[in-house]
Structure 1
Amino acid sequence: MTGSTPKTVAEAVEAARESALAGRPLAGRTALVTGGSRGLGREIAIAFAAAGADVAIVSRKKESCEALAEEIAAATGRRTSAHAAHVGDWDRLGPLLDEVEHELGPVDVLANNAGIAPVYPSLDEVSETLFDKVFGVNVKGPFRLMAAAGKRMVERGGGVMLNISSMASGRPTASDLPYAAAKAALNTLTAGFAQEYGPSVRVNTIVAGPFFTDISKAWDKDAFAALAQDWPLRRGGDPAEIVGAALYLCGPSASFTTGALLAVDGGRLAAP
């Protein structure tokens, strides 16, 4: 296992532009990214701006969102906004959409990236509070945002919604079972919302594998390296490697793709 030093925003912008499809596929769009201040959300927010979108960055800590928003605006020239919101708070999400519309305009692209996977000693010691938090952030929040944003998109003539799921949804273990179950539910929501809001709104999911984000700092490096030897690519992912899939699914080249689950996991789900 090897870590990766996060690129500066300027470096990430250039890398995203190089990996983007021809031109600026999200030009003129407004995108909202939850969990957008770090990790995969950070990379997705930068990539969307590099692809021409104005970007609203959402997380629980507004200061972190503001700092990244300023860097992205300086590096890309796009309009950005920062918003504090806990996606597990049902009543906060409607007003969040209103705030983004007030600052940047109607949301054309929604990326549900926020997620939590707390550790616990054993399954019988999982508390109701922990269980509810996991489902609140990973399922309830995306459901509410897709329901509210999707309806607005339909009324305006279209849009795109992207969920970030996990390989745990297909390979659950005792150490991450509530999280795995929540992400499996998110996969199901993808199919349901694609049906409800089609044909004008597309809804897809990236099933993410192990990426070297802040969370990976707590991993056992030797154990991870040994485990990865059974996977086709034999390694974890750099956060920037989520960009190509996100730009594809949210861009015009995926115009016939909806209700899809795209694994970006180094082949983990394909491994025995």
Structure 2
Amino acid sequence: MEISKQFDLSGKVAIVTGASKGIGKAIAEALAQQGAHVVVSSRKQDAVDAVAKEINDQGWLASASACHMGDDEQIQRLAENTIKTLGGVDIVVNNAAANPVFGPLEDAGNEAFQKIMQVNVQGPLNLAEYCLDSMKSRGGGSIINISSIEGITPGHGLGLYSVSKAALIQLSKVMAREWGKDHIRVNAICPGLVETKFSEALTSNEKIMKMIMMKQALPMVAQPQDIAGLALYLASPASAFVTGAVISADGGFTI
């Protein structure tokens, strides 16, 4: 098979959460460009409608479905509606994340901990489980969990977020181990510093940016598209023998 054909996603159905902007939007566009019908999901319907329209206007395929990844009923509805309207699910990209606090652990509180773990860990598991039977019936699938290098080495002020992303890495490995028999692959991507609204607390802090650039091998801030190509690889047949992998895209920060 020609290598370019190994990235062909024609006939596949993909759900991408947190896809109204940033990394999620870039991944949704990349998967659609390669032929997948992408369900663009995020909390606000008008935001995902706009992204789906952009994708469809370029001649690709997209639908929009609002979903809060901290609400199990909404997650179940997202999966069930996708399966009902599009016939099934082949690819799930768990990109949505929450980080309501920035500071030391002792100042975070129980409410913040519950919210972070619900959205960043429980939500991805729930969505994957609701799509599991459909993937099995279609002969397999690919689940891509967007973790973070914060889940590998914790950064300043991001303690609870780091805990949740470390848990997501381990969850990805467990899912890969248990579901591999059904040809369902599960992998985790750990982005470093990417220029998004989510990372503004870091990129707008001159002192933190100086510290990051001193440690990072590549003196640059990534763009969302730099992560999208890796997600496309993991979603496609090109990565057919890859599961349980934890891949850092961090400019060499964790070297």
Same fold per superposition (TM over 0.5) = yes
Q: Is the 8 A contact 1:162 1:250 kept in 2?
A: yes
Aligned partner of residue 234 in structure 1, secondary structure = coil
Structure 1 position 104, deviation (Å): 2.6
Show the 5 A alignment for 1:169-208: 169-173=151-155, 175-199=157-181, 200-208=183-191
Residue 79 of structure 1: which of 61, 64, 73 is its match? Answer: 61
8 A Cα contact 1:139 1:185, kept in partner: yes
C-alpha contact 1:138 1:186 (8 A) present in aligned 2: yes
- Choose from 220, 227, 238 the match for 1:253: 238
* Structure 1 residues 209-259: Cα deviation after superposition (integer angstroms, max 9, x where no partner): 110011333331353034212211122211110122111111111010001
Q: Which residue of the partner structure matches residue 229 of structure 1?
A: 214
Does structure 1 residue 163 correspond to structure 2 residue 106?
no
Q: Which residue of 1 aligns with 2:127?
A: 145
TM-score (norm 2): 0.93
Which residue among 82, 100, 121 is the counterpart of 1:100? 82
Paired residues of 2:103 and 2:156 also in contact (CA < 8 A): no
> Counterpart of 2:118?
136
- Indicate if the aligned counterparts of 1:72 and 1:78 stay in contact, CA closer than 8 A: yes
Number of equivalenced pairs:
249
Give distance in 2, aligned partners of 1:152 and 1:54. Answer: 15
Q: CA deviation at 1:116?
A: 1.2
- 5+ residue gaps, structure 2, are none
* Aligned pair partner of 2:98 in 96, 106, 116: 116
Choose 96-105 or 132-141, whichever is displaced more.
96-105
4+ runs deviating over 3 angstroms: none
Q: Distance in 2 between matches of 1:246 and 1:257?
A: 12
Q: What is the distance in 1 between the residues matched to 2:81 and 2:130? A: 13
Matches within 5 A, 1:27-38: 27-38=10-21
With over 3 angstroms needed to count, the CA separation of the structure-2 counterparts of 1:79 and 1:173, relative to structure 1, is closer
What TM-score comes out, normalization by structure 1 length?
A: 0.87
1:215 & 1:268 partners in 2: Cα distance?
19
| 1:265 and 2:250 aligned | yes
The CA RMSD over aligned residues, in Å, is: 1.5
- Percent of aligned pairs with the same residue? 37
> Are the structure 2 counterparts of residues 193 and 151 from structure 1 closer, same or farther at C-alpha, using a change threshold of 3 Å?
farther
